């Protein structure tokens, strides 16, 4: 804790420069394994996803009221609870699952567990996604030459008509600008805690079952071993010639 300044992603990257891409720190009494860099993160989340698919949910975290003391959070809990109650009433009359919440009910999840999922999805829809869009607009404004290329591609592919999902494969440069903005901005720079489901390894380091793991996406996205001039906005890096 004394080594963390409040800018978590940069602090964890700085520690990684000295201790390597896989190291452990204590957050209070809890030992946490930190993953930096593309190689370590790929080894864990892509090559061994089932080994890292658990989440630690201590009692305090499972109480929506404990997320925040703000009135807004209390109001949202009441709104989400009302939404869940409507689902439960309909589901009791007809247990045919129609959406994600119905599937949660079908699998016997508690109200509080379902509310956690609803709260998380609501947060992603109202925070992470809009945040990513704002960063993309900013990077395009700061790089007018990229903006011009993207506009030329849109004009060439779409002309005067509205876009369709089938246009996506033909808008390579536009997609590359979005990916590059998300790489640089890293709207969620450090992951929520993962937890291992079994004894496993990352980059040949042994990690026991039930170990909490933090993933530093910020460090991966700015890894100079993967990205040339990682601080620069270069959409071309994502286009396979």
Residue 67: pLDDT band by 50, 70, 90 thresholds?
Answer: very low
Q: Strand locations in 141-211, DSSP E?
A: 194-195, 200-202, 205-207
Return the higher-pLDDT residue of 175 and 55.
Answer: 175
Between CA 137 and CA 114 the distance in angstroms is 34
Q: Cα-flanking dihedrals φ and ψ of residue 60, to 5°?
A: -60, -35
Radius of gyration over alpha carbons of the chain, in Å? 21
Cα–Cα nearest to 76, from 133, 115, 37: 115
Give the pLDDT confidence score for residue 73 in this predicted structure.
59
- Alpha-helical segments (H) within 47-196: 71-93, 100-106, 111-123, 129-142, 144-158, 172-185
How do beta strands 30-35 and 212-215 pair? parallel
218 C-beta neighbours (distance < 10 Å), count = 22
pLDDT (tens digit, 9 = 90+) per residue, 179-226?
999 999 998 899 888 999 999 999 999 999 999 999 999 999 999 999
Return the higher-pLDDT residue of 60 and 87.
Answer: 87
């Amino acid at each position: 804790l004394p080594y963390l300044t409040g800018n978590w992603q940069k602090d964890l990257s700085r520690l990684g420069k000295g201790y390597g891409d896989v190291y452990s720190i204590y957050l209070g009494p809890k030992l946490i394994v930190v993953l930096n860099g593309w190689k370590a993160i790929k080894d864990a989340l892509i090559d061994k996803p089932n080994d890292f698919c658990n989440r630690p949910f201590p009692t305090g975290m499972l109480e929506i009221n404990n997320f925040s003391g703000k009135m807004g959070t209390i109001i949202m809990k009441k709104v989400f609870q009302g939404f869940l109650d409507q689902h439960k009433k309909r589901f009791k009359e007809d247990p045919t699952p129609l959406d994600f919440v119905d599937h949660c009910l079908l699998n016997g999840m508690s109200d509080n567990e379902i509310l956690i999922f609803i709260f998380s999805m609501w947060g992603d829809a109202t925070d992470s996604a809009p945040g990513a869009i704002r960063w993309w607009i900013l990077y395009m404004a700061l790089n007018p030459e990229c903006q011009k290329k993207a506009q030329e591609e849109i004009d060439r592919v779409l002309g005067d008509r509205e876009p369709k999902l089938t246009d996506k494969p033909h808008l390579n440069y536009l997609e590359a600008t979005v990916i590059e903005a998300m790489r640089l901005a890293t709207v969620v720079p450090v992951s929520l805690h993962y937890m291992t489901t079994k004894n496993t390894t990352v980059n040949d380091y042994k990690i026991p079952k039930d170990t909490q793991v933090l993933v530093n996406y910020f460090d991966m996205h700015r890894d100079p071993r993967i990205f040339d001039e990682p601080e620069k906005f270069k959409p071309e890096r994502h286009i396979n010639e």
